[in-house]
């Protein structure tokens, strides 16, 4: 039986809307017409390159895979999606919705060009012309405006690592309820290790603040844990519906090994920090020994820590900003070689025991055997490897939180929940 892969993007605008809500509405129609069991796996939520200037608010594209029996079914599903977009989307500002779809016979044999296009869309700048060329090569159809880029990229999201998100919705014309930390903290404790970025210092992280219909979103490595926590909160705060997506959020899929500074590209930079200068707003401007420059904005919570890294060899990653000198907007830093040394007392030359100072005379005494002498101190390179990460409240969608380390790929072994949409 063939499969229809259909993706959408660019359906939100500055004043409202949400691409996940359009896909949710599409799935609700599948429930009404009795074809929900034809959905393969979970719908996919794909975050794209966060640095491109053409993105709308959320920068997420959505896709879904459906069993189809005929070309008429394909046409009906595509027509339904077009109709929903026409009804739900305001084409204002940068909003330029698009649909990408294709029919394939073997889900285990996705065209490599499509996988490449997904990776490029997450890490680099992609043009509409390139999307059209790739679509021709993989026999995909494109409908609409610039949103076809993200829609096509979502079709190529075949994960080797993934997470889940339980998204609950509210009525847009009603005031957004404030989710209490006291309702989130117990669930954060119970679901720890399988959900992430729920709450930080009494600040609730699961609720958005934009003009969209999303009430909250719970992210994690287990669909059952996000379902348990999300379902409780959805009932508590009167959600009008909810859905679970499989996503690339928190996977570092946007990280690349590319080091060439090209505007809007995600890059990794390795070098020694030669200077850190702060402006009056607290932002750190960093110079490297390879003539590269980077910016760490104050709100990330890492700029002051970088002041103590002058002379250290570091790996820094982020996106290239088009600001005259192509500076790197830092997301995170890993110190590879620490310039600092520790001054220690030597071991006792008689018994090997620890030695301590006996005063200003410079004489050292062995704690074990009592031997005393003037011995030189020992300089020990610290050589610590450590990471400097943003505050939890400043994590971008694609950035991998530390609590996910070691859980990569777990989502791929999780069976689809029986209840995944309401």
Where are the CATH 2.40.50.1010 domain residues in the chain? 266-338+388-394
Highest mean pLDDT among 53-67, 219-233, 342-356: 219-233
290 vs 56, residue with greater confidence: 290
95: Cβ contacts below 8 Å, ≥ 6 apart? 10, 11, 12, 13, 17, 56, 89
So what's the pLDDT on residue 342? Answer: 78
Write phi, then psi, for 234 (nearest 5 degrees): -65, -40
Q: What is residue 208's three-state secondary structure?
A: coil
Pick from 18, 6, 12: which is nearest to 243 by CA? 18
Lowest mean pLDDT among 154-168, 216-230, 293-307: 293-307
Q: What is the pTM of this model?
A: 0.87
Q: Can you tell me which residue has the tokens 């997470």?
A: 163
Tokens linked to 262: 């090209």
229 vs 312, residue with greater confidence: 229
Question: In the CATH scheme, what is the code of domain 3-158?
Answer: 3.30.70.2200
What average pLDDT does the segment 51-65 reach?
Answer: 83
Q: Can you tell me which residue has the tokens 């159809």?
A: 141
Q: Which fold would CATH assign to domain 163-253?
A: TATA-Binding Protein (3.30.310)
pLDDT category of residue 262 using cuts at 50, 70 and 90? confident
Domain 266-338+388-394 has CATH 3.40.50.1970: no
Evaluate if residue 302 carries a pLDDT over 80: no
Percent of the chain exceeding pLDDT 90 equals 64
- What span, in angstroms and rounded, lies between the C-alpha atoms of 78 and 297? 43
Where are the CATH 3.30.310 domain residues in the chain? 163-253
**Do 162 and 223 touch, CB atoms closer than 8 A?**
no
- What span, in angstroms and rounded, lies between the C-alpha atoms of 157 and 418? 23
Q: What is the mean pLDDT of the chain?
A: 91
Evaluate if residue 323 carries a pLDDT over 70: no
- What span, in angstroms and rounded, lies between the C-alpha atoms of 342 and 313? 18
So what's the pLDDT on residue 53? Answer: 79
Residue-wise pLDDT for 158-192, tens only, equals: 999 999 999 999 998 888 899 999 999 999 999 99
Q: Report the DSSP pairing between strands 98-104 and 3-9.
A: antiparallel
Where are the CATH 3.30.70.2200 domain residues in the chain? 3-158
């Amino acid at each position: 039986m063939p499969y229809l892969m259909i993706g959408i993007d660019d359906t939100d605008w500055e004043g409202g809307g949400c691409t996940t809500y359009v896909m949710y509405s599409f799935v609700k129609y599948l429930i009404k017409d009795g074809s929900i069991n034809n959905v393969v796996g979970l719908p996919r939520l794909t975050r794209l390159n966060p640095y491109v200037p053409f993105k709308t608010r959320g920068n997420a594209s959505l896709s879904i895979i459906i069993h189809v029996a005929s070309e008429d079914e394909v046409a009906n599903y595509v027509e339904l999606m077009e109709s929903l977009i026409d009804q739900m989307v305001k084409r204002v500002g940068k909003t330029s919705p698009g649909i990408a779809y294709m029919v394939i016979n073997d889900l285990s044999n996705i065209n490599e060009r499509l996988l490449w296009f997904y990776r490029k869309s997450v890490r680099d700048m992609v043009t509409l012309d390139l999307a059209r060329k790739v679509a021709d090569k993989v026999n995909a159809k494109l409908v609409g405006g610039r949103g076809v880029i993200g829609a096509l990229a979502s079709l190529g999201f075949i994960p080797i690592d993934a997470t889940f998100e339980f998204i609950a919705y509210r009525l847009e014309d009603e005031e957004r309820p404030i989710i209490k930390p006291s309702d989130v903290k117990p669930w954060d404790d119970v679901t720890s290790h399988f959900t992430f970025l729920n709450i930080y210092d009494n600040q609730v992280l699961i609720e958005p603040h934009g003009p969209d219909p999303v009430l909250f979103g719970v992210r994690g490595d287990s669909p059952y844990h996000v379902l348990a926590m999300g379902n409780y909160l959805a009932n508590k705060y009167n959600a009008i519906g909810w859905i679970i997506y499989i996503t690339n959020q928190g996977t570092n899929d946007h990280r690349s090994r590319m080091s060439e500074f090209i505007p809007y590209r995600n890059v990794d930079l390795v070098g020694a920090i030669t200077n850190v200068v702060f402006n009056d707003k607290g932002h750190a401007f960093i110079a490297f020994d390879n003539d590269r420059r980077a910016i760490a904005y104050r709100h990330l919570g890492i700029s002051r820590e970088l002041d103590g890294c002058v002379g250290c060899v570091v790996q820094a990653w982020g996106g290239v900003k088009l600001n005259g000198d192509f500076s790197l907007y830092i997301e995170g830093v890993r110190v590879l070689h620490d310039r600092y040394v520790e001054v220690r007392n030597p071991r006792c030359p008689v018994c090997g025991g620890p030695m301590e100072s006996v005063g200003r005379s410079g004489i050292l005494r062995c704690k074990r055997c009592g031997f005393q002498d003037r011995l030189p101190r020992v300089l020990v390179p610290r050589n610590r490897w450590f990471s400097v990460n943003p505050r939890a409240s400043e994590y971008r969608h694609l950035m991998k939180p530390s609590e996910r380390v070691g859980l990569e790929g777990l989502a791929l072994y999780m069976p689809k929940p029986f209840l995944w949409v309401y």
